[in-house]
Amino acid sequence: MKGVDHLAHERNKTEFDVDAMKIAWAGSRHAFELSDRMARLVASDPAFQKDGRTRLGRKELFKNTLRKAAHAWKRILELRLTEEEAGWLRNFVDEPSFTDLHWGMFIPAIKGQGTDEQQQKWLPLAYKMQIIGCYAQTELGHGSNVQGLETTATFDPETDEFVIHSPTLTSSKWWPGGLGKVSTHAIVYARLITNGQEHGVHGFIVQLRSLDDHMPLPGITIGDIGMKFGNGAYNTMDNGVLTFDHIRIPRNQMLMRVLQVTREGKCVQSNVPRQLIYGTMVFVRQTIVADASTALSRAVCIATRYSAVRRQFGSQDGGMETQVIDYKTQQSRLFPLLASAYAFRFVGEWLKWLYTDVTQRLQANDFSTLPEAHACTAGLKSLTTTATADAIEECRKLCGGHGYLCASGLPELFAVYAPACTYEGDNVVLLLQVARFLMKTVSQLGSGKKPVGTTAYLGRVQDLLQCCCDVQTAEDWLKPSVVLEAFEARSARMCVARAQNLSKFENPEDGFAELSADLVEAAVAHCQLIVVSKFIDKLQQDIPGKGVNQQLQNLCYIYALNLLHKYRGDFLSTGCITPKQASLANDQLRSLYSQVIFQ
Amino acid sequence: MKGVDHLAHERNKTEFDVDAMKIAWAGSRHAFELSDRMARLVASDPAFQKDGRTRLGRKELFKNTLRKAAHAWKRILELRLTEEEAGWLRNFVDEPSFTDLHWGMFIPAIKGQGTDEQQQKWLPLAYKMQIIGCYAQTELGHGSNVQGLETTATFDPETDEFVIHSPTLTSSKWWPGGLGKVSTHAIVYARLITNGQEHGVHGFIVQLRSLDDHMPLPGITIGDIGMKFGNGAYNTMDNGVLTFDHIRIPRNQMLMRVLQVTREGKCVQSNVPRQLIYGTMVFVRQTIVADASTALSRAVCIATRYSAVRRQFGSQDGGMETQVIDYKTQQSRLFPLLASAYAFRFVGEWLKWLYTDVTQRLQANDFSTLPEAHACTAGLKSLTTTATADAIEECRKLCGGHGYLCASGLPELFAVYAPACTYEGDNVVLLLQVARFLMKTVSQLGSGKKPVGTTAYLGRVQDLLQCCCDVQTAEDWLKPSVVLEAFEARSARMCVARAQNLSKFENPEDGFAELSADLVEAAVAHCQLIVVSKFIDKLQQDIPGKGVNQQLQNLCYIYALNLLHKYRGDFLSTGCITPKQASLANDQLRSLYSQVIFQ
């Protein structure tokens, strides 16, 4: 193998403008240059080296991360990096740390839910890292069901304080990153109780540790919840457990932007719309989808390079063996993942637009598109993170035995990515939310209420229930309208069939529970349609660079036709396509694999 | 949650004889009692404790395993355990270690491939662990393609020695467990060269380290290949890298049971049939399938107990939330895995019978069933290990956030199981072997050659191409003959369709390469049929214990109908069932979930 640069050989085959493709991926020249500059900064700094991380015991590993976080902070200050630059820098340091929660959850929570006075008091301390915060929501016994949290915040009118308390074992705060060893403060979510009445779950700023000796304050018990999946991965993070024994905080440490508690303990709704919180949710999920495409692209990059270098079998006359990338079995597993990385990239880009759109509407008190935007982002978060976690593991397998070595990078990539399927909404729970929204949309079709946004196609449900796919040759599958209609028809028909089955139940909730697994399938079909349609939309835009659009078109069809093949049971059982047409799609897919070019 | 024993609540619902079920699982009362006794022995011995393992750095982790391996050996000697008992004890110690390879590969290789004299010389040393051996086959550049190994063993007639040499970087032995730090000897696979002629790959006993100071012998370079997936997992094992610089060994250290090299360097085939090696392969794969069911059962047990204890949503009037095991979304993911554990258990049991049958036939020089047995075990190894690895990860996800903690046991279970998809045959390569055998079987159908064993159904191919599923109600899917025919028809039709597509290619090998992904699908269909049919066969036997057979029947239908639902694209596109029948199968599946009872 010595002396043969297999990657150079593959790269010489490239027929598209590689720099233009990089910019298409990044979204803009500015975004590309910024991330590239930060990547080089981190790569060239020995203090950020990752070698040997996986060999360390937990204590050394954690110290190592503290060291890097401190060094990153020093560099950010020295180089006067912008917040955007600093974010990229932390991203390339590539180790979960308490700073992620401080910058990513603690500060945004104060910004989003705090009053102006609260922001003026707390943000400067947080920006200078004079206090370090975490985000204490989940409890040992409570995750998805936020309304089930047990921690209480009881207003004491005598002292003008809230009493924060953990009444049970299951009410222990559990998971907050940064809590176990580092944080001085937390945003604690608790059931608000004033005058003996409950007022739902709200956020409170609570100091946890002394700013002098860093010891937990009296009445506060903190621990580290122990080892997590993978060698390094989230073991660089001090996810913690926390209980309160009647801890008192001043009234003005409840985040009161939306709901205020007066000196007398009365609850007063502010004129800030509660829906604002959904805007934040759209924002967070948009970043999760973008992160999915990044994580997936890293795994695919490793597996693709390995597949070009690795040779096995097929040697003739004692010559070199066949590159494994030339095997159709390898291609049919790898190339759809490459296509998914781009698909998720572009749907993430579209979600940025959606967030801007939602924000503008909220500012104009227009909440009409919010439920659709909420369902859409929930579904895309679920779809992209599940697919990415599975894809990273598939990439690991595509590297054979070598993928099992940490040296391949893939075991850590998987272990660090896996929680994305659970945090910010368990992926199955999210799909059930999407399904609920779809069933509601279908039930309102007769009432003249027009479905909007990503559900607009359901307005054409009569056509979609009757349409016939007219594919007759494999090439017919290369028409965007044909692909789109097949995906729309499949989703619409699955939704309608589920709605009909639901209507057979006397109690709709019983029906929803009984048929929930089927409803999840319909939600997946709908979400896949969104990704396919946004990919197709993207290709209608002018994408500069020789051959770039052509390559992206190949990937778009690979993404769609691979889904069509994998889920052909849906398409066939709803009569959207015939077995013959499914077989032609599969033929076309094979032919597309031959046209994929790397760099 | 305090004060409520949710498991007791679930257990009280049990309507079957739990002890009888344990025996049905173990295969016999003897097997159950033996494994139970060894499990208790390990659990009660503080020296075998696993707490804290995941927190250790690599060095401490490895020392910890050495300590346990030494302690295990001490206990085995003290208690005069049989080989079977010792195997179970090592199994429950539950940490991969060099002893696995010494007992599982080194000794069996000498027994299987060594002459009587070689066995007399080496086995006593190995049994007393005066020498410790590993199995050095895989190379950095060579895994699946054993014939591509580059290490050479050149006979030197002048000194009556073999010269073992690593000519390239890619010829470095890579992966052998026990090699990196512990082994004194290895079975090394190398290309045999005598008189300038190559004679294929053979095994050689090579001493690696001094028995005095444990240093590698001159000309031998050894290293540890570094960290692998997971915190503990295979990091307790010293997988190594090894190169030889013209190492000389006596001629009698080539394993010569099948092929002998004479003093003059001539190769002489012995009268031991070469096919014996396939018998060993059947044996090894049989144990892998059994191990799959064990690993899967551990994961399912954890996820099931968690699902019974965990409650989320659905609280009414401030009461307790709903146990997550009562959600259909949870059931539809978890119960098919529970069913798979039993399915793999019983197909593993059947493979034991197959191994006995093959061995008896080999002894009688009857090789007729060998290709079928080989294809069948290859397919079942692939099917069960892929499904088990995926299932463990699914069980981890079914435990929500808590599954991400090492405390759940699932991250380590996954990381330690993952390599089963790669070792002893990459799972995709194995499926291609199955596909090749199936295509050959189909092509010979016209010639009057009757397909045997697990391919016997292909003898009825004409019926299977025409049969019509007559399911009209959901309950019709509870007839073994109906289920079996659907799976047989699907597999037969997929095989025939692939064979027809292959016949369109001028060069069959080109066709095989181009259509390989489709061929893998046919192989999977065939293997699933084997598992389903062996599960059905098992239930025809008399299984003692009240309610045991009934529960196993439920699981058998859950296993089969879940596959039918998941792969309904296959069944529909081949016209084996109608969309309506697929939908009825899904209805029946939901109803079966309600009838699953735990312990």
Max CA separation in chain B (angstroms): 92
Measured between beta carbons, the chain A residues lying within 8 angstroms of B144 are 312-313, 400
Q: Which residues are registered as beta bridge partners of A186?
A: A134, A206
B255-283: per-residue pLDDT in tens? 999 999 999 999 999 988 877 777 778 88
Q: Work out the average pLDDT over A333-360.
A: 96
Amino acid at B553: Q
Q: How confident is the model at residue A446 (pLDDT cuts 50, 70, 90)?
A: confident
Question: What number of other Cβ atoms are within 10 A of residue A518's Cβ?
Answer: 22
Measured between beta carbons, the chain B residues lying within 8 angstroms of A396 are 229, 418
**Average pLDDT of chain A to the nearest whole number:** 95
Distance (Å, whole) CA A30 – CA A456? 34
Question: What number of other Cβ atoms are within 10 A of residue A267's Cβ?
Answer: 16
Q: How far is A403 from chain B (nearest CA, A)?
A: 9
Among A226, A401, A418, beta carbon nearest to B175: A401
Under 8 Å CB-to-CB from B61, ≥6 apart: which residues? B53, B232, B235, B236
Question: Cβ-count burial of A18 within 10 angstroms (0-12 exposed, 13-18 middle, 19+ buried)?
Answer: middle
Q: What pLDDT does B33 receive?
A: 97
Question: Cβ-count burial of A208 within 10 angstroms (0-12 exposed, 13-18 middle, 19+ buried)?
Answer: buried
Q: Work out the average pLDDT over B363-386.
A: 94
Contact B55 A515 (CB under 8 A): no
**Average pLDDT of chain B to the nearest whole number:** 95
Question: Cβ-count burial of B573 within 10 angstroms (0-12 exposed, 13-18 middle, 19+ buried)?
Answer: buried
A482-495: per-residue pLDDT in tens? 999 999 999 999 99
Distance (Å, whole) CA B462 – CA B458? 9
Measured between beta carbons, the chain A residues lying within 8 angstroms of B59 are 55
Q: How far is A445 from chain B (nearest CA, A)?
A: 25
* Best residue in B145, B573, B587 for a mutation probing chain A (most A CBs within 10 Å): B573
Give the residue among A443, A344, A426, A342 at the shortest CA–CA distance from A387. A344
Residues 127-146 of A with CB under 8 A from B: 138, 141-145
A6-37: per-residue pLDDT in tens? 788 888 888 899 999 999 999 999 999 999 99
Q: Which residues are registered as beta bridge partners of A224?
A: A240
Q: Work out the average pLDDT over A198-211.
A: 97
Measured between beta carbons, the chain B residues lying within 8 angstroms of A170 are 1
Measured between beta carbons, the chain A residues lying within 8 angstroms of B586 are 518
Among B321, B421, B516, beta carbon nearest to A328: B516
Question: A183: which 2 tokens?
Answer: 């944080």
Measured between beta carbons, the chain A residues lying within 8 angstroms of B143 are 312, 400-401
Among B141, B397, B520, beta carbon nearest to A329: B520
Q: How confident is the model at residue B10 (pLDDT cuts 50, 70, 90)?
A: confident
Is A177 marked as a binding-site residue? yes
For chain A, domains (ranges, CATH) are 19-95 (1.10.540.10), 133-272 (2.40.110.10), 278-449+479-593 (1.20.140.10)
What is the distance, to the nearest Å, from the Cα of residue A208 to the centroid of all Cα atoms in its chain?
29
A384-426: per-residue pLDDT in tens? 999 999 999 999 999 999 999 999 999 999 999 999 999 999 9
Distance (Å, whole) CA B27 – CA A51? 48
Residue A43 contacts B, CB cutoff 8 Å? no
Q: Which amino acids of B are annotated catalytic?
A: 424
Q: What pLDDT does A2 receive?
A: 52
Contact A418 B426 (CB under 8 A): no
Give the residue carrying structure tokens 């026990």: B178
Question: A302: which 2 tokens?
Answer: 């490793």
Residue A346 contacts B, CB cutoff 8 Å? no
Question: Cβ-count burial of A14 within 10 angstroms (0-12 exposed, 13-18 middle, 19+ buried)?
Answer: middle
Under 8 Å CB-to-CB from B534, ≥6 apart: which residues? B343, B346, B347, B350
Distance (Å, whole) CA B560 – CA B480? 10
- Specify whether the CB–CB gap between A68 and A240 falls below 8 A: no
B571-590: per-residue pLDDT in tens? 999 999 999 999 999 999 99
Q: Work out the average pLDDT over A273-296.
A: 88
Q: A306 pLDDT exceeds 50?
A: yes
Q: How confident is the model at residue B598 (pLDDT cuts 50, 70, 90)?
A: low
Q: What pLDDT does B568 receive?
A: 98
Q: What pLDDT does A1 receive?
A: 40
Residue A493 contacts B, CB cutoff 8 Å? no
Contact B422 A404 (CB under 8 A): yes
Among A393, A400, A568, beta carbon nearest to B569: A568
Q: What pLDDT does B1 receive?
A: 40
B161-190: per-residue pLDDT in tens? 999 999 999 999 999 999 999 999 999 999
Question: What number of other Cβ atoms are within 10 A of residue B123's Cβ?
Answer: 14
Q: Which amino acids of A are annotated catalytic?
A: 424
Residue A518 contacts B, CB cutoff 8 Å? yes
Contact A328 B514 (CB under 8 A): yes
Distance (Å, whole) CA B176 – CA B179? 6
| Residue of A442 and A12 predicted with greater confidence | A442
**DSSP state string for A325-381:** GGSHHHHHHHHHHHHHHHHHHHHHHHHHHHHHHHHHHHHTT--TTHHHHHHHHHHHH
Distance (Å, whole) CA B4 – CA A469? 56
